[in-house]
Amino acid sequence: MDPNVQSTEAEQTSTQLSTGTSGAIAPASAPASDQPWQEWLEPVSEFLAKLPDFVGKFFSDYQQPLISVGLIVAGIITVKLTLALLSAINDVPLLAPMFELIGIGYTIWFVYRYLLQSKTRQELTTEFSSLKSSIFGRESQEI
């Protein structure tokens, strides 16, 4: 290789480099106030002063969806807790068979009390209709 070519390449690379001091940090500008924490405190205090208005407007604008979501979440939590409680009760020895026997006994009593005779079936229908009318607030129609 020609030595003149190498020196030309070295000169070109040296002209592309900046001559400033490397690794130097620009000096920080002085804060507007005497204490630097005040420049952070002012926006935070303004935000906290407006926060109740923001939250109140948010809840007033989205009241119905928030209630619906809250009820759904509460329902899911209730179902999970109920299933966990039933699973814990089911793991206790002799409780599961005892509850099965209680359920069978109650079913036998219900059939004997309300479904075996005609007049007791009519009594059950009357009680059911009165319950339905008290819940819906009007006379129930025949289904």
Contacts of the segment 72-76: beta carbons below 8 A, 24+ positions apart: none
Domains in the chain: boundaries: 36-91, 93-143
Joined tokens for residue 32: 């507007």
> Which parts of the chain are beta strand (E)?
none
Specify the pTM. 0.44
pLDDT, tens digit, 9 for 90 and up, residues 28-57? 555 555 677 788 888 889 989 999 999 999
pLDDT, residue 4, reads: 54
Residues contacting residue 39 through CB under 8 Å, at least 6 positions apart: 31, 32, 33
133 neighbors 139 (Cβ within 8 angstroms): yes
Contacts of 123 (CB under 8 A, 6+ apart): 114
Q: pLDDT (tens digit, 9 = 90+) per residue, 110-128?
A: 999 999 999 999 999 999 9
Question: With pLDDT > 70 as the criterion, what percentage of the chain qualifies?
Answer: 73
65-73 mean pLDDT: 96
Give 138's pLDDT tier (boundaries 50, 70, 90).
Answer: confident
